Amino acid sequence: MNIFQKMMYVILSIAVACAIGVANYIYLPAGERIPEDKHTSDYLETYYSTNDTVLKQLFPYEEVNYALTVPSNMSYTTADFQRFEGTYLTEREPVDSSYLQHICFCGDSITYHMTLKNRCLADCDVLAWGGLMVSDFAKYVENPVYNHSSEKKTSIYWIEYLKPEIIYIMLGTNGITLINNERHIEQYRTLLDKIAAASPTSIIVLCSAPPWALEAYGNYTNSDIGTLNQKINHFNMYLLELAKERGYYYLNVAETLQDELGNLKSSYTNGDGIHWSNAARDAYEAYVLSHPIPGF
């Protein structure tokens, strides 16, 4: 049977089904219509099942149960997104907060603020300072980047010294308005080479750059915030690709921080549009604990 014949069969089946329905409910008097009882429902169930079987034979296909769901801040097709299985950290039963002690958190002021007294990363190893970018994270010495030392040494020095079991990196906010995404990712690639050389056994997790809130307009940028957040989404997709390429993990924390328009939720900013409120820090911690790397 050729494709034309198959299509004619489908069209004919649909036409017959429609004709029966029209004839039954429009042209026949109420007393003569097919009764809506169990016998009729059983017949229709068998009829539809037989049709499904015939259609599958005519147009064979395989039903696919996808392991990953495409998040709202990414534009992959569902089928294409499956190649990130094993890279993209998914939600599961949350682990307890002791998981954080296995991690060295690397970042900028957003990460640094989480090290302050009584905040979620206060007792963890953190390498961060305000204004740090992907391009200067490895060499910055103007201030002490390690939260448990006053020494002004580079982040790479501390990574080599600490040899962390796991390294979480959340950078990109301070460079996103300055350079294009392709150049930004090349800088990230260079940074990762240095981190991997300093601590070859560390498990590395690349964290998505967080979205900006509307309040950032006029404070940190004169660009449209919606357009900027689209650029951040594309940057994060590049970052996911890089994580897969390197055999690292990827944490899409941005998805829990954004509102329905893709901006940082208003309750998650401290008022300037970039830096986080305590609610955002709590959301970050909860997301990390509910999306741990395999084996923890």
User: What are the pLDDT digits (tens) for 64-91?
Assistant: 789 999 999 999 999 999 999 999 999 9
Read off the pTM. Answer: 0.80
217 belongs to a structural domain: yes
Mark whether 155 and 22 lie in a shared domain.
no
For residue 13, is pLDDT > 80? no
* pLDDT tens digits, 188-223: 999 999 999 999 999 999 999 999 999 999 999 999
Residue linked to tokens 């949350």: 94
Residues 127 and 216 occupy one common structural domain = yes
Domain count, the chain: 2
Same-domain check for residues 16 and 129: no
224 and 86, same domain (yes or no) = yes
135, part of any domain: yes
Helices and strands: H and E segment counts in the chain: 9, 5
Residue 66 lies inside a defined structural domain of this protein: no
For residue 186, is it within any domain?
A: yes
Burial of 249 (0-12, 13-18, 19+ CB in 10 A): buried
The answer to whether position 63 is within a domain reads no
Tell whether 42 is covered by a domain.
yes
Q: Is residue 189 located within the same domain as residue 103? A: yes
Looking at the fold, whether 18 and 83 belong to one and the same domain comes out as no
Q: Looking at the structure, do residues 22 and 141 belong to the same domain, yes or no?
A: no
Q: Are residues 86 and 136 in the same domain?
A: yes
pLDDT for 1 beyond 90: no
Q: What is the residue whose two structure tokens read 């696919």?
A: 64
Within this chain, do residues 103 and 222 fall inside the same structural domain, yes or no? yes
Mean pLDDT of 258-281: 97
Q: Is 44 inside any structural domain?
A: yes
196 to 19, 20, 208: CA distances (angstroms):
69, 69, 19
Scanning the chain, the segments in alpha helix (DSSP H) are: 3-22, 38-58, 78-81, 109-112, 155-162, 181-198, 225-246, 254-257, 278-290
Does residue 29 lie within any of the structural domains?
yes
Domain that holds residue 17: 3-58
